[in-house]
Amino acid sequence: MPTYAFTTMKHLSPEQRGKLVESVTTIHQVEATAARYFVQVVFYTVEPGSMYIGGEAAPDDHVWVRADIRSGRTREQKAAILHRIMRETGEILGISPEDVWVYVSDIPAEGVAEFGHVLPQPGGEEEWLASLPGSLREKLMTAS
């Protein structure tokens, strides 16, 4: 369920994208205590002059990260996600964490369907996984 969307004017190399994918997947797994197989990452590269802050063109190095996650995480969990994404993204891309803006948006689990099933509330992943058909369950367990 968690979908992390990176939007930037900067061209990201396959190596940078790979490091960002590993970073946010691990951050979400650790801080939100969710299985890795739930984490999705999408990259959007927009042309220069397509991003603005306060009516002015955003700096070329600016990165927006939109994170849609299941509701139910604590304030502390969200703070850890925000801070780690700013710091680690800045390190990976060689930019200031101040140029990494992160938005975490909560979505009720009952409003999301993936793998052909409505998602569980946070903490209900094991029971949900056990209820899935065997082939899908095995596929997800090998991805974790």
pLDDT digits (tens, 9 = 90+) for 102-139: 999 999 988 888 888 888 888 888 888 888 888 888 88
Contact at 8 Å (CB) between 51 and 62?
Answer: yes
Q: For residues 7 and 48, is the Cβ–Cβ distance under 8 A?
A: no
pLDDT, position 144 = 61
Cα–Cα distance list, 129 to 14, 33, 124, 125 (Å) = 32, 15, 9, 6
Q: What is the pLDDT of residue 57?
A: 94
CA 143/CA 37 separation, integer angstroms: 6
Nearest to 70 by CA among 47, 44, 38: 38
Question: Within the chain, which residues score under 70 in pLDDT?
Answer: 144
d(CA 118, CA 131): 11
pLDDT at res. 123: 82
Q: Which long-range contacts (CB under 8 A, 24 or more apart) does 126-132 make?
A: 129/35
